[in-house]
A and B are shown apart, each in its own frame.
Chain A
Amino acid sequence: MSTDSGYDVGKGDSVHPGKPVTVDRYTGGARINHWITATSLVLLALSGLSLFHPRLFFLSALFGGGQWVRTIHPWIGVVLFFSFLGLFLRFWKLNLWKREDGTWLARVRDVLAAHDERLPEVGKYNAGQKLVFWSMSTLIIVLIGSGIVIWNQYFAAYTTIEQQRWALLVHSIAAILAISVWITHVYAAIWVKGTIRAMVRGSVTGGWAWRYHRKWLRELVARPPTKEPTADRKRTAAE
């Protein structure tokens, strides 16, 4: 966690000069946390969608049938909630909105056209990533809140039917939005080559950091070298 104010740098982030330069971006813990979240989100989307529209009911077969979907969907939701909470605590500070984020967002045309050289230098996360982060945070709170209200087996007695109707409407809208944000998130990772590696191996190339998160890279390089040994040890441990 970035404790030194001014640094837009996460825990375990460090630079390793070489050819190419590699930059540690995610610790093993962060990656495990991320993939638990990702898996539960995908399972939730699939199981939820099977109830969302009759044409998608066939998806319930993946879970062993409708009764299983009904049973496990909310429990996976609980896993997602706590797992995402972990990610939130890890990343929230780095996702605070900065002045350059407005400029970045205003030039979204250049973003989409891959004219990254025309964009302001950004820290560990760009405005798009921050939007994904905050919208997912909000949506997951809405989803767990509404999800508990419609969790018939255990919570039916605590709310009125009218409240449960609202909760169903809210839950399905929030789910649509969450799935759409997820699609955007995954697409960005596929489109920007070298990104998936950050969540798989934990590191990116220097060029990737230079091109997309130059402020982050500069801050990492400028960081007092006292932190180096720990970071290095982490890197070898992660590999």
Chain B
Amino acid sequence: MFPPVLNPTTVPQEPKFGERDLMRRSASTVTPPAQRQTEVAKLIDVSKCIGCKACQSACIEWNDTHPQLESNTGIYENPHDLTPDMFTLMRFTEWENPDTNNLEWLIRKDGCMHCEDPGCLKACPAPGAIVQYSNGIVDFVHENCIGCGYCVKGCPFNIPRISEVDHTAYKCTLCSDRIAVGQGPACAKACPTQAIVFGTKEEMKKHAEGRVADLKSRGFDSAGLYDPPGVGGTHVMYVLHHADKPEIYAGLPNNPAISPIVEAWKGVTKYAGLAVMGVAAVTGFLHYMVNGPNRVSEEDEEAAQRLTGDRSS
């Protein structure tokens, strides 16, 4: 058992991180702080989850969102997808294990992974709409968001959702406001089985090792930690009993990375594009400077008069 985050003092305190700890800021260049804060992480142990959705309720309560009541279509997901009002969602998969012929009920808590190399932030065109703190938390800043939806295309996990009410993007904040004052995320606090635990990234990896060893001893030979290197690792990690097949957990990407299309769009296209437009403008300017204007001469006018002169009107 991992010791839960203690209840903090009720005395008001300074936030533990803020503007000065920004490692990345969308559409801006920031000098990362000299000293990086200890990286934090949330570990979701899929094998321990009982699908009670206490985390979803806690998330709704803490963030004061109001997800729509939807109708039952015969599946357990409710709501049926992440929405601007539902930052985390239990996704249920019934999977028949071909090795054992057992039906396994896979329940994965979906939500923002807080990537070390966040595709959402890379794609975002609005300065400061997405920030990354040096403890690894990726947060959306609604005052700066323009609602373009680029983050949706940048994210390898299909997480951000754009609100039709205020036209800004929403996703899990890792309860940055709670963590800033020494609390754990609301979901971790609510989880009755300790399927969700929170601590430093090192602690979480260590704790996961123990969980993986335990699962292996129970016959889950390919149990493992999901901390995908393609996005530099994440600050929300999973313990999976079938870590070799993450996609069976409701499509958790196997080896995710920022899409090469997004990289090309945000990389070479920008520089080449500015260069092409610049060259067009400069060439025009230089051509004018060297050649001067192209003018109609007196002879041209006279020629036109000769041509039309024999016509009267």
Contact = CB atoms under 8 A, between A and B. Distances in A.
A114 B313 contact: no
Given A168-B265, A193-B293, A183 B304 contact: no
Contacts of A165: 153, 259, 261-262, 265
Given A21-B304, A67-B167, A193-B296, A172 B152 contact: no
B146 interface: yes
Contacts of B148: 51, 66, 70, 152
A161 B296 CA distance: 54
B150 interface: yes
A212 B23 CA distance: 59
A216 to B, nearest CB: 12
Interface residues of B, number: 53
B146 A67 contact: yes
Contacts of B164: 153
Contacts of A193: 293-296
A225 B310 CA distance: 12
Contacts, number: 173
A222 to B, nearest CB: 9
A217 interface: yes
Given A161-B152, A228-B313, A17 B281 contact: no
A183 B269 contact: no
A218 interface: yes
A238 interface: no
A196 to B, nearest CB: 12
A120 interface: no
Given A66-B146, A152-B162, A206-B307, A180 B269 contact: no
Interface stretch (A28-36, A52-60, A84-92): A52-60
Given A20-B301, A152-B152, A172 B28 contact: no
A172 B273 contact: yes
Nearest to A179: B277
Contacts of A172: 265, 269, 273
A208 B305 contact: no
Nearest to A183: B280
A53 B270 contact: yes
Contacts of A62: none
Contacts of B296: 193-194, 205, 207-208, 210-211
B303 interface: yes
A232 interface: yes
Given A191-B288, A208-B300, A221 B265 contact: no
Q: Chain A interface secondary structure, helix, strand, loop or mixed?
A: helix
B167 A164 contact: no
A211 B304 CA distance: 9
A173 B269 contact: yes
B73 interface: no
B297 interface: yes
B144 to A, nearest CB: 8
Contacts of B150: 51, 168
Contacts of B125: 50-52, 54, 57, 66
B71 interface: no
Given A17-B311, A67-B167, A152-B149, A191 B265 contact: no
B256 to A, nearest CB: 13
Contacts of A70: 146-148, 167
A217 B235 CA distance: 72
Given A65-B146, A165-B259, 4 more contacts: A54-B125, A180-B280, A183-B284, A225-B311
> Sorted from nearest, which 5 A-B pairs have the closest CB atoms?
A206-B304, A152-B149, A66-B146, A207-B301, A207-B300
27 contacts: A20-B304, A21-B304, A50-B125, A53-B274, A54-B28, A54-B125, A60-B146, A66-B144, A66-B146, A67-B146, A67-B147, A112-B287, A152-B147, A152-B162, A161-B152, A164-B152, A165-B261, A168-B153, A183-B284, A191-B293, A193-B295, A205-B301, A206-B304, A207-B304, A209-B304, A217-B304, A228-B313
